[in-house]
Structure 1
Amino acid sequence: MSRILKHRLFWPVVVLVALLLLNLVFTDGFFRIEMKEGHLYGSLIDIFRFGAPLILVATGMTLVIATSGIDLSVGSVVAIAGALACMRISDLSDQNSVAGVLSAVGIALVLSVVLGLWNGFLVAGIGIQPIIATLILMVAGRGLAQLITDGQITTVQSSSYKLIGGGYWLTLPFGIIIVAVVLALTAFLTRRLALGLLIESVGGNAEASRLAGISARGVLIMVYAFCGLCAGIAGLMISSNVSSADGNNAGLWIELDAILAVVIGGTPLSGGRFSLSGTVLGALIIQTLTTTIYSIGVPPETTLLFKALVVTIVCLIQSPAFRAKVFHRRRRPVPASTAPEEKVRVSA
């Protein structure tokens, strides 16, 4: 039992279950999942569907934080990817053209990777602190997204593009399937191959990793590029779900939610290790918390305050030092051995 209590995912699971049960109190049939017209519907499905973009962004953020870095620009990349894709689609003569939509999606994702590479170059190539390097793109990227849309909300009428964030496939929301594929590939590359160990070694001690023959710069650039790709996919999902792109508000503050999800999931900001499963739990906690806020009728003007308060409580509960102080856990003194000492006879 003590091993279960000390597991890093125990408290996130407890908090998630508590939030779900709280929703059950305020919403009848909260756990009910129904099949309508070949699609699965229900509150639990909605939590996964609306939380899919955050899970993607938090997945990329997890690997960045594992290298002892941070990426504050993911929100801007979300806005840029959605803006570019919607602008390309709006210029098509046939917005339902699969080839045209795929072209727009491809261009948006390529630009997202390029922006991630730019962050990696500033951090690994030039040596700028990650928080400063990504803060540059955070500010400039939001302006770039508004330049792409000319400061207007760009709307599209494309059923093909709508599939990414608002469509269904195999009875499930297509966004959930995208997240499952990205998570499976990430877990395979980082846990079944040596890539995860390389990332953790760079985060633990980049100089020692370099001396051991690991290309720390290459790992950093790759991780930031992957983070940009995840943010780009999330941007496509968000914009396609509402069939529009808002360069000013799309992905606003999602970087903070992603960092919170990573921390709640047990990945330390100091780097050196990471937990993908913990990050998914953290993202689901944040999305469930948002659902709970709407369910219990928290006033809109106090939503952010309530959310910050709950997240603070979750982080404190997870802290072993805090729990030790609150519950006055002290190390028990080791009892002295009562066994008689063996006498050693020395023969003359």
Structure 2
Amino acid sequence: MKRSFRRVLPQLLTLAALMALVTLFFPQFLSIDYAGGRLSGPVIDVLKRGAPVALLAVGMTLVIATRGIDLSVGTIMAISGAVAAWALSSGWGAGPAVILAVGAGLVCGLWNGCLVAIVGIQPIVATLILMTSGRGIAQLITEGRILTFDAGPFAWLGSGILLGLPVPVFIWVLTAVGVAALMRRTALGLLVESIGINRSASALAGVNATVLLIAVYMASGLCAALAGIIATADIRGADANNAGLWLELDAILAVVIGGTSLLGGRFSVAASVLGAMIIQTIDTGILLAGFPSEYNLVIKAGLVLMILLIQSPNLVGHWHFLRHSLRRDPDASPRGAKS
């Protein structure tokens, strides 16, 4: 338990520092109200609006842990949302719509996994194929228009309230807890890490790397489908052009902020979802602080770069080396400095 807490401590401190910074510009940021059986406030909005990126980050963490990448998660969101909206507009009901949307995400993940694990295509190229063609598929499903519907039970998944909190909060939290428990309470986590460290060696040790890689990409597709369901249910419509657009970049960034190396190996689902909340806090904080919209992306990029530099093990290592060097020789000047 202590080891797990230390693993996510940098992300927790970063999130706390960001919340304090936003509070300086917008003092009501931490205020939470309760009315009509629901909690409301900027923090609750962060938890809800960050649900799609948090879900994408869960699946992306597993993919990156195997030394892969999934650029198609935003497109899978669009495809799954389009399938759900088509099913609802065809009178299938909320249950079948969810099943079909999840099935579409799993099929997309299976496609990516087969290209990577069986055909042997580089993950960035294999998932780029679906990223570029998937929105065309989604547009074919919606016939090139925003497909709207009116289904109360399905809309509840995106804008409903459960125990005072938005339903999307429960979906991403339960998904993250379930995946983290599956990875850490069974041998699956070690097997995924072994593939990321050295796929050939893990195969020689008896690990079925092919099946496991396919399963990992299917898990990423499943998480993207859940994110697509939430996004579609929230607006009660499927927008194939904009659903999940560029969210794959936020998902990758959340995983990197969570400390997972793009070279594969060790990973932390909890740290990745905290990274997603950090990104959403930045987005919400910039809007609440009243900065002009044209500056939002620049400010966000600067803050993310600062966070990554602070968390960089190389920077921390250099700082410790310099501190210990100065303790041993207070009169020593930095290497390369002229007297």
Q: Does 1:129 align with 2:129?
A: no
Identical positions, percent: 49
Q: In the alignment, which residue of structure 2 is the partner of 1:84? A: 83
**Cα distance in 2 for residues equivalent to 1:276 and 1:247:** 29
**2:226 aligned to 233, 248, 264, which one?**
233
CA distance in 2, matches of 1:135, 1:329: 43
In structure 2, the gaps of 5 or more residues are 329-339
- List per-residue Cα deviations over 1:277-306 (Å, max 9, x = no partner): 110110000000000110122221222222
Q: Does 1:264 align with 2:257?
A: yes
- Output the aligned Cα RMSD: 2.1
What's the CA shift string for 1:123-169, capped at 9, x where partnerless?
A: 00010000000000000101111111111111122211111111011
Name which of 190, 200, 209 aligns with 2:193.
200
2:170 to 165, 169, 177: 177
Counterparts of 1:54-133 in structure 2, within 5 Å, are 54-92=53-91, 100-133=93-126
The corresponding residue for 2:202 is 209
TM-score by length of 1: 0.89
State the partner residue of 2:333.
none
Deviation of the 1:194 alpha carbon: 0.6
Give, in angstroms, the shift of residue 8 of structure 1.
Answer: 4.8
Structure 2 counterpart SS, 1:35: strand
| Counterpart residue number, 2:51 | 52
Q: Answer whether contact 1:11 1:317 (CA < 8 A) is retained.
A: no
Instruction: Could you list the structure 1 runs, at least 4 aligned residues long, displaced by more than 6 angstroms after superposition.
Output: none
Which residue does 2:21 correspond to in 1? 22
Equivalent position of 2:38 in the other structure = 39
Structure 2 distance, partners of 1:68, 1:42, is 38
1:180 positional shift = 2.0
- Partner of residue 148, structure 2: 155
User: Paired residues, what number?
Assistant: 326
Conserved? CA contact 1:324–1:330, under 8 Å? no
Q: Is the 8 A contact 1:72 1:134 kept in 2?
A: yes
Question: 1:327 & 1:298 partners in 2: Cα distance?
Answer: 36
Partners of 1:223 and 1:213 lie apart in 2 by 18
Q: What letter corresponds to residue 210 of structure 2 in structure 1?
A: R
CA distance in structure 1 between the partners assigned to 2:239 and 2:34 by the alignment: 33
Structure 1 residue aligned with 2:312: 319
Distance in 1, matches of 2:39 and 2:323, equals 50
Max Rg structure? 1
For residues 227 and 82 of structure 2, the distance between their equivalents in structure 1, rounded to whole angstroms, comes to 12
Alignment partner for residue 133 of structure 2, among 140, 163, 174? 140
Query: Do 2:176 and 2:270's aligned partners in 1 also have CA atoms closer than 8 Å?
Result: no
Q: Structure 1 pair 67/90, CA: closer, same or farther in 2 (3 Å)?
A: same
Task: Give the secondary-structure state (helix, strand or coil) at the position aligned to 1:30.
Answer: helix
- Alpha-carbon separation, structure 1, partners of 2:19 and 2:126: 38
Alignment-mate amino acid for residue 183 of structure 1: A
**Would the aligned equivalents of 1:78 and 1:232 in 2 still touch at CA under 8 Å?**
yes
SS at 2:305 equivalent? helix
Alignment match, 1:309: 302
CA distances 1:25-57 after superposition (whole Å, capped 9, x unpaired): 233332222221111112211111110111100
Code of the residue aligned with 1:252 in structure 2: it is: L
Question: Which 10-residue stretch deviates more, 12-21 or 278-287?
Answer: 12-21
Offset of 1:9 from its aligned partner?
Answer: 3.2
Alignment of 1:253-292 (within 5 A): 253-292=246-285
The SS at the match of 1:29 is: helix
In the aligned structure 2, how far is the partner of 1:28 from the partner of 1:321?
35
Give the letter for the 2:83 counterpart. L
**Once structures 1 and 2 are overlaid, which stretch shifts more, 313-322 or 24-33?**
24-33
Separation of aligned partners in 2, 1:52 and 1:119:
23
CA 1:210–1:328: 2 relative to 1, 3 Å: closer
Q: Does 1:168 align with 2:161?
A: yes
Letter in 2 for 1:169: L
* Residue 193 of structure 1: how far off its partner (Å): 0.5
User: Counterpart amino acid of 2:63?
Assistant: V
SS at match of 2:29: coil
Separation in structure 2 between the aligned mates of residue 46 and residue 225 of structure 1, nearest angstrom: 29
Confirm or deny: 8 A CA contact 2:180 2:270 kept in the other structure. no
User: In structure 1, what residue type is equivalent to 2:64?
Assistant: I
Q: Cα deviation per residue 1:62-117 (whole Å; 9 max; x = unaligned)?
A: 0000000000000000011111111211222xxxxxx7111011011101101101
